[in-house]
Amino acid sequence: METIYGYAGKIARINLTDSTVTDVPITNYVPKYVGGRSVANRIFWEEVGPEVKAFDPENKLIYMTGPTTATGIPSGGRTVFTGLSPKTLPEQYTWSGMGGWFGSELKFAGYDGLIIEGKAKEPTYIYIEDGKVQFLSAEKLWGQYVHETQEMLEEIHGKDVKSIVIGPAGENLVRFASITTANDNAAAKAGFGAVMGSKNLKAVTVRGRGKIVPADIPKVLELRKTMNNPPMRLNPILNLEGVEAGANVNFKVPGGVKQAQVACCYGCNQHCDRMFLDVKSGTSRKKKNRVEKCVGIFAMDFTENCGWMPNQTFQTEQNHSAPCKTLSGDMEPPDMTDPYAKDLFNWRPADTVNFWKGNYDKGNVMMDLCNQYGIDKWEVTVGLFPWFSMGQKEGVFEGMDFGMPIDVESEEFVRYILDMLVYRKGKYGDILAEGMARAVRILGKEKYGDTIYHGRYSNVIPGKQLDIPICMETAWGEIFHWQGRGYQAAIDITGWLPCSLQLMVSSRDTQTVAHFHSTWDYYLAVKDDPYHNRLVPQAVIECETREDIKDSFTSCEWQAPDHYWPTMECEMFEAATGYPMTLEEMEEMAIRSRLTFRAILIRNYGRDREMEVNAVYPGLTYPDSVGLTADWDDWNDLVDLYYEERGWDKKTGWPTREQYEKYGIKEIADELEAAGKLPG
């Protein structure tokens, strides 16, 4: 048999309604779409129409690896889920990335991905062993926490299996339920845990004894040493006096803190995750080890928001470093001979928000419960509990009985609220399980969402009060992220404006796989008038193209892109598959994937210019860290420039037939035209 390099060769279509499995050749999609999110986009476009709702059996949960997964190429362990999300507002097609070791094990078992469709009659889990798929009863697993479920599956099938599981939140259709794998890696942002729950699917467990053959092993080994200059340093468990996570979360802990770094996915050459050892558990276990990247740190202390240093966003050839190194502390020391170094490393302080004070045990319990219930930490840490904190201070909850006095400083209150919403207990449990965006609409958005919190203060202009609504909602039901308001608000307008554009054309928060990055030259060119400079949409499009590349090939947000090594993913792809790919070809594939995604949003969910400019703009009327707000006309001028740069129709925001045909997907244009969704 001819060796297939990089790929396993097929996708398993798993129908839970009739317990059937069909093999779908990966070549149905490759090479037009190379893997990961791009293939998933195409599958969803072909198979799920506009009439389907998130919890319908007809919704499909698509899981894809990429050609670099399980090849030993660093960051190839990243994988992606897509499907119709119950979390986004309104329900829209979206994606959710996940690291871990499940994707590589799936490839060793013979599959590049899964199409999970239908609905099982009873609680079920899927066991895949070397190409054989079984549907097994999840009766004993249903109701179990995430960690207990993982351990029970290992007891049943052996220590070497890898699993994706949901917790009670997914079973109870909590709209921000996550899917979790090893190391608490989770696909959390899209609520796909609840989609699994709606299908009566508790877990997928896999064991693979097969192999994946990279085409060019010397090149793979070379990439292991060259991709982001791996630190190759010891990783001792540090005994610290407290939490020391940069300038904003920094407090002493009685008894100290044990901390080390761990990797997040198969074969990575970095270790971006921060692990806290022997911390307080949220459940009956005595002690736990737990990992965090960024937002979970704020569960421990949310007195200040997150500050910003321009080099997190803007780079020069002399000073650029992978984001994973900013988390692990492995960043190379600044090169101060760089004429821009002083500005690049000029820390912009975070806003004071005073949500809650430092409490190591309470923060660990909050995050462990998120892990165990299987819910999105982001929604809990940046959405739910800040809402309680701000709303209580502004008096909006007076007369409401949650069953316990509101006290966000209290571990008991955290436990009580999370238990209430995960199990949908009582009126408020049921409402909060819908997620912040839907909950405040059920309660009454004007009061419970838009009431202004008067306790946010700038530290760039000391003492300046900055209004923010108690529900820090931006577009698509998401919470602000790198948008100058809400979480990571300290970024300046040259950063938050493009982040907002990225969000506008997406269906969920993009600053997880597409953190806005550009060069310092960009910053200098646009800083005086970012609304009317084409470099802004050009830089956004570059980031979006890179986003599709990362989620398709696959590579990792925390390692890529390297602005000064643009062909890195081309080299990864060729090492994995043996097929040379130019930068132009790679970008063409990414834009094809992007157009397919946009076509889904347009056909299925009525996406157009009016919908998206209005989704993002209201949030930009609140002040950033120096008090700047966006003007409606300026915002629309920028949107005009974006659509022009994309070659899309400015009036509707729809791509033209020429765009679809240019990227080889005429059939999509034909279908959109039949649906009246091509610009006239």
Partner 1 sequence: MEKIQEEYGKISEKYCNHIVQYPPEVSLCAGCTSCEAVCAMVHDGAVSPSLSRIQLERGTVSMIHTIHACMQCRDHPCYSACPKKDKAMCIDEKLGIAYVNQEECVGCRLCVKACPFEPKRIRMNLDKPRPKAIKCDMCRTRPNGPACVEYCQVRCIGKSEDPVPVDDRGRTQGLF
Q: Would you state the structure tokens that stand for residue 593, as one six-digit string?
A: 């994937």
Q: How far is CA 608 from the centre of its chain?
A: 24
Report the alpha-carbon distance of residue 180 to residue 557 in Å, rounded: 19
Nearest Cα residue to 489 out of 300, 625, 312, 298: 625
Chain centre distance of CA 171: 21
**Does 271 engage in binding with partner 1 (CB under 8 A)?**
yes
Nearer to partner 1, 14 or 164 (CB): 164
- Per CB under 8 A, 87 contacts partner 1: no
Residue 124, strand partner residues? 137, 201
210 binds partner 1 (CB under 8 A): yes
By CB under 8 A, which span of 15-23, 132-140, 260-268, 354-362 interacts with partner 1?
260-268
Which of residues 21, 182, 613, 626 is near partner 1 by CB under 8 A? 182
Q: Under the criterion CB under 8 A, does residue 234 sit at the interface with partner 1?
A: yes
Q: How far is the CB of 354 from partner 1 (least distance, A)?
A: 18
Q: Find the shortest distance in angstroms from Cβ 654 to partner 1.
A: 39
What is the Cα–Cα distance from 159 to 515, expressed in whole angstroms? Answer: 36
Instruction: Pick the stretch among 87-95, 191-199, 261-269, 401-409 that binds partner 1 (CB under 8 A).
Output: 261-269
341 makes contact with partner 1 (CB under 8 A): no
Picking from 378, 376, 509, 399, the residue whose alpha carbon sits closest to that of residue 448 is: 399
Near partner 1 by CB under 8 A: residue from 136, 156, 253, 260 = 260
- 628 φ/ψ angles, rounded to the nearest 5 degrees: -75, 140
> Is 318 in contact with 337 (CB distance < 8 Å)?
yes
Q: Does 544 bind partner 1 (CB under 8 A)?
A: no
Is the CB of 217 or the CB of 628 nearer to partner 1? 217
Closest by CA to 62, choosing from 93, 83, 36, 84, is 83
The closest alpha carbon to 408, from 252, 299, 489, belongs to 299
Tell whether residue 237 is a contact of partner 1 (CB under 8 A).
yes
In terms of DSSP H, where are the helices of 374-455? 377-378, 385-393, 411-422, 426-432, 436-443, 445-448
- DSSP state string for 416-428: HHHHHHHTT-HHH
Nearest distance from C-beta of residue 177 to partner 1, angstroms? 19
Integer Cα distance of 429 and 2 in angstroms: 56
Task: Please confirm whether the linkage preceding 231 is cis (ω < 30° from 0).
Answer: no
Question: Does residue 224 bind partner 1 (CB under 8 A)?
Answer: yes
The minimum distance between CB 444 and partner 1, in angstroms, equals 34
**Is 48 a residue that touches partner 1 (CB under 8 A)?**
no
The minimum distance between CB 273 and partner 1, in angstroms, equals 8
The residue (of 253 and 331) whose beta carbon lies closer to partner 1 is: 331
Among 61, 294, 421, 541, binds partner 1 (CB under 8 A): 294
> Any contact of residue 540 with partner 1 (CB under 8 A)?
no
Nearest approach, Cβ of 583 to partner 1 (angstroms)? 26
Residues within window 57-76 making contact with partner 1, judged by CB under 8 A: 70-72
Using the contact rule CB under 8 A, the part of the chain among 329-337, 413-421, 504-512, 517-525 near partner 1 is: 329-337
Residue 495 contacts partner 1 per CB under 8 A: no
The rounded Cα 239 to chain-centroid distance in angstroms is: 31
Closer residue to partner 1, CB minimum distance, 98 or 294: 294
Q: Does 83 bind partner 1 (CB under 8 A)?
A: no
Radius of gyration for the alpha carbons in the chain, expressed in angstroms and rounded: 23
Is the Cβ of residue 302 or residue 448 nearer to partner 1 in the bound state?
A: 302
In whole angstroms, how close is the CB of 287 to partner 1 at the nearest point?
10
Candidates 144, 198, 261, 500: give the one binding partner 1 (CB under 8 A): 261
To partner 1, the closest distance from the beta carbon of 589 in angstroms equals 24
Residue 415 has which token pair?
């436990």
Q: Distance between CA 10 and CA 111 in Å, rounded?
A: 5
- Any contact of residue 108 with partner 1 (CB under 8 A)? yes
Looking up tokens 């915002």 gives: 635
**Distance from C-alpha of 236 to C-alpha of 258, rounded to nearest angstrom:** 10
Among 183, 483, 510, 604, binds partner 1 (CB under 8 A): 183
Answer yes or no: are the C-beta atoms of 224 and 243 closer than 8 Å: no
Query: Does residue number 249 form part of the binding site for partner 1 (CB under 8 A)?
Result: yes
Count of residues binding partner 1 (CB under 8 A)? 66
Identify the three-state secondary structure at position 30: coil
Among 83, 267, 374, 386, binds partner 1 (CB under 8 A): 267
CB of residue 137 to partner 1, shortest distance in Å: 22
Taking CB under 8 A as the rule, does residue 214 contact partner 1? yes
Does residue 483 touch partner 1 according to CB under 8 A?
no
469 beta partners: 452
If binding is defined by CB under 8 A, does position 154 make contact with partner 1?
Answer: yes
Is 331 a binder of partner 1 (CB under 8 A)? yes
b/e sequence 37-60, b meaning 16+ C-beta within 10 Å: bbbbbbbbbeebeeebebbebebb
Euclidean distance between CA atoms 288 and 301, whole angstroms: 19
Question: CB of 235: closest distance to partner 1 in angstroms?
Answer: 4
Looking at 40-48, 236-244, 505-513, 645-653, which segment touches partner 1 (CB under 8 A)? 236-244
Interaction between residue 97 and partner 1 (CB under 8 A): no
Assess 253 for contact with partner 1 (CB under 8 A): no
Secondary structure in 3-state letters for 180-209: ECHHHCEECCCCHHHHHHHCCEEEEEEECC
Interface residue with partner 1, options 42, 199, 202, 274 (CB under 8 A): 274
Closer residue to partner 1, CB minimum distance, 306 or 408: 306
- 151 lines the binding site for partner 1 (CB under 8 A): yes
> CA angle at residue 356 from 351 to 357, to 5 degrees?
95
With respect to partner 1, which residue has the nearer C-beta, 85 or 205? 205
Asked if 625 and 489 count as a contact pair (C-beta separation under 8 A), the reply is yes
Q: Which stretch binds partner 1 (CB under 8 A): 215-223, 563-571, 602-610, 670-678?
A: 215-223
Contact assessment for residue 479 and residue 472, using Cβ atoms and an 8 Å cutoff: yes
Q: Is 275 in the site for partner 1 (CB under 8 A)?
A: yes
Contacts of 568 (CB under 8 A, 6+ apart): 227, 555, 560, 561, 562
Q: Least distance (Å) from partner 1 to the CB of residue 59?
A: 28
* Closest approach of partner 1 to the CB of residue 189, in Å: 18
Cβ-Cβ contacts under 8 Å for 167 (sequence gap 6 or more): 144, 145, 146, 149, 177, 178, 180, 193, 372, 373, 374, 375, 422
Shorter beta-carbon distance to partner 1: residue 548 or 574: 574
Phi-psi region of 315 (alpha: psi -120 to 50; beta: other; left: phi over 0): beta
- d(CA 673, CA 94) in angstroms, rounded, equals 23
223 counts as binding partner 1 under rule CB under 8 A:
no
| Amino acid at the residue 349 | P
The stretch among 286-294, 403-411, 416-424, 452-460 that binds partner 1 (CB under 8 A) is 286-294
Q: State the Cα–Cα distance between residues 269 and 486, nearest whole angstrom.
A: 33
The continuous run of DSSP H or E covering 314 comes out as strand 314-315
Scanning the structure block, which residue is given the tokens 């800040």?
A: 386
Answer for which of 233, 252, 357, 666 binds partner 1 (CB under 8 A) is 233
* Binding site residues, partner 1, CB under 8 A: 70-72, 101, 104, 108, 147, 150-151, 154, 159-160, 163, 182-183, 208-214, 217, 220-221, 224-225, 230-237, 244-246, 248-249, 260-263, 265-271, 274-275, 289, 291, 294, 297, 306, 309, 312, 326-331
